[in-house]
Structure 1
């Protein structure tokens, strides 16, 4: 796997398909994208699957588009994620000619990056609707797009911290520290854990209690206090004899040096050459060296890939080279380990630059939950963080570790392994998925069913499709023939296959369609909002509630209602943007403007594209070029850029090249780069050319952290 570079997505996720001209592209791809352009999803899906083996990037991209759009019955964000991940992983490996061919289909690194961001946004919206610890954890485990990833981590960590605080025991905080070592609250959680543990184990105040605490918790910051309590009680008389006895009985106590200093003071008295010489002869084991030894944990330091002279290494968040460029490629660190390549083989290194495995693998996936799936001799296996085999490489396929299981495939079919690599569910399925909320979807004789973690079938093989159980509350959709229904976590049918479409649940409601009309049902299948709205594939683009509101489609017009079916915006617009803030994007006569919350037109219809306002400005476009306006519709930045991405008070923009400017259009980074990527909330990576490394710009300091020498 080559180091994957995600480019910065435009403010809007727009899928554009290029014109189809004669080029050395497979007929399956051409037919697939032609069908997709015509919204013939069945034909497009069929053609892309046929092309997947030969053209995994283009076909994977096309399948992700299908699965990631909710205007078709194949809408399934897990599959959308799977196929765009395939495309993004394989794209850097393509030859230049193939990449050029793919541009005719509208596929390049930017298109792939936009689709990655789009898919991740779907998962982010699903997690936002639930706003539970498990929902955010699921998002963090599998989705890295910015700004969603950092925001999801912060929300997950905050919820988990409040749960630990409610319990307020050392065990609760220890669990938090173990699970979320990079959280903003980690220092506070660690501080509370250590304080409570110390108080709980030494509440009797006995020397024995303090000694036991020291022995059982050698890494605690309260060891110092506990050791001082032992020292204080043992040396209370203050004589040479008690200090000597303390040293003999407590050789590892940090106050041994304090005792030595007191012996020194008592023995030497006058600091003369003679007395010191005499003391040194009498006490040859007196410690003269400093004992202060503190290492700041490497795990708290961010690492970024760099390239010099064709080889890859890493710098830290201060711009210092921590791992010298010595590899043909590198992947970002995951769980403090990174895969690196040399001589077409893969190994893992730690943040000290030490190899934890040999270059034994043809491929390797990032560590997740302490495990990595690797490929050796074209077969899949699993290793742990020590580089030891958990499952030998004897399988045709292995999934990521999920809820205590790996799915795996051998000659007999799919089955499941536990965390020790032992077979726990027999290998006889035609296909299998990861366990989610204690359930997995499996296939037999072309039909799908549901099993639990004991391998017990809780729903017969009778479905043409079942979506994974993404939450422990909502039922999952299934399909029989051309109709959709709902099944719950015990395999009971909640809604029989009676709807032509069922959307994702959000805020407890899901769109349900009966041919030409649609309404909304709850998780029990009850109709909450009557089937009175006009159904078309277009409505599927905005079929989920957000913050209590959903856009509806009625007689070719779009409006907004709340969960009680109260009309917030009447259905008088051709389209409506995201319903948030005080000004809402609206469309009439194919032009965008903004309406206030009283449905008064606040900014006239004159833009080709618009976004929501942030900090009183919004990115909008005219005639294919982007600029900024304020809430009064006044132009703050002229319409002259091909793209604008707002980053706090800065703008990442492009015209003929990428650069960085402030709100006064002062140039911070010159327009000389062919690509740009927001790495995290601190760093932008600017690049020139494919696989040429990049220059890292520190947003907080507004200067380059590191620049390539060549």
Structure 2
């Protein structure tokens, strides 16, 4: 048996670099084909175009009321009146859409002359343009008399009525089909991009090498050069000097120019030719309102309108998991924390600070791991509390605990930076499926004493053993003591015990085997569906291990075998286990009680309540299910009982038949005896070839005169 080893600390530590940037917009999920983007499943099937118009008006009315801050205008009232109708005629729908279109166009003309660029104004302008895009796309329902549509959510999570885009599945022409965003669905067909409206019409034909989603009434597209297209498909002038571009939000995009520099542009760049920001060597998303810039080898932040928030004077700069609140800054190869207004909150004295990723189902926290010349600390980014310094800190587990090393000892802290398990252990394992962890402490003479503790530090299996193993899937574990002055083999030996996950001893130390040692190994083997197999290893004089087996009742977790057995067969209809010990077979019941001591060289399977056994005289007989001998050990061969009769032989190739009381129904005279399958009768054949038939009860039915002579001779 492989030697059991002490469970050593298995902690993994983070790579101490800056975390990845937070994305401004959550990336939309693709399907397994990598073609369909976004959740397109139908919330409801729309019965007709008239009902689709009704749903569309209802949603556009909500949009209008949002812009009007709940104050209903005349147009809002008209749209409200339409909601009382179950369906909506195309003429009425067209009228409402025309009025909405006119209103939004007027609002857009008004805001285009407004040069106020604070974030509130930017959001207002964006909302008007986005709502207008929905109106333009929904106009298609005016010209439809039939069609299949669904209620669904678009990429922004807004409820819309539109064409079921999943209808394109299986069509090899499409390389991309994206859910609707601001009224239009981006598609790639025949290797070029275009856009669909809510009705599924290709209103902006597929013709572009590249295309981004609509961003407040315009979308970035590329043929040979980059352009804007509006919601009607009109192309702008070419965007000068731009080689790549990506839409952000509020009609603002980040562009890369021919000189390799980056800048922010808005949707009027084709006319103004002016950038919103300065030119930088790189611009990347920092959080929802700020962008990280790189100028030379230094980093800073700019706002969405292009104005500088933090001057580019830092060697590196990244956000924490407390997004938008703190920044991790690097200066002169040291790292600290700054707020987004530029105030230093933790001086750059650390070698590294990195975000700690914790599953929200475990704890809703925002933590970072900091390292300096003294060791590791955890920072709570919400209030900048800092833990004690440790030599090492592991990952947080499903209990919200992180293993820490303080000097040469280990313990656990929680996500609130509180010590839950004091660092007093020389080694700790990892939590298993039962919420237990192996732990070892210093004992007498610097010897480690090991056991198992819970995630709150409670001892479940006392820390009193030299070694502990891993639990099996049934909640059993082996622990070990080192015994001294053993007689076999000479010197020290190992004495094992078995505990369950509640700390109950299942197999204790056995005095009679302790001087020579005994070891156990738990298994994941189930015997008879109700018993767990445990292997037992006992040293022999030649230094090898003799392996035997014990059984533990699965449901009650109770040992049923009082000793190990070399072999255990599955229990039979009598609920008895045939067991082998020191080369001899016996019987035990399902409580472990010995029914027949292991005294037989062989044990055959039970037939009709009797067991065929071979005794020391190498002869066979039968014992019953209480272990009592019922048929003496007189036979060289026995066969199973069949309806109370069994075929036996006393040697010399001569066969006979006995009953359960050892009465000789047919003497051992016949060279062959067969049981006829159809009638269960016995066919007996003597050395001359004569045949005799006995019925299943043992009465002669054929050639009975001669059979009686044979039986009479045997009885004399």
TM over 0.5, shorter chain: no
Looking at secondary structure, tell me which structure has more strand per residue. Answer: 2
Looking at secondary structure, tell me which structure has more helix per residue. Answer: 1
- Whichever of the two has the greater Rg, that structure is 2
TM score, norm. by length of structure 1: 0.39
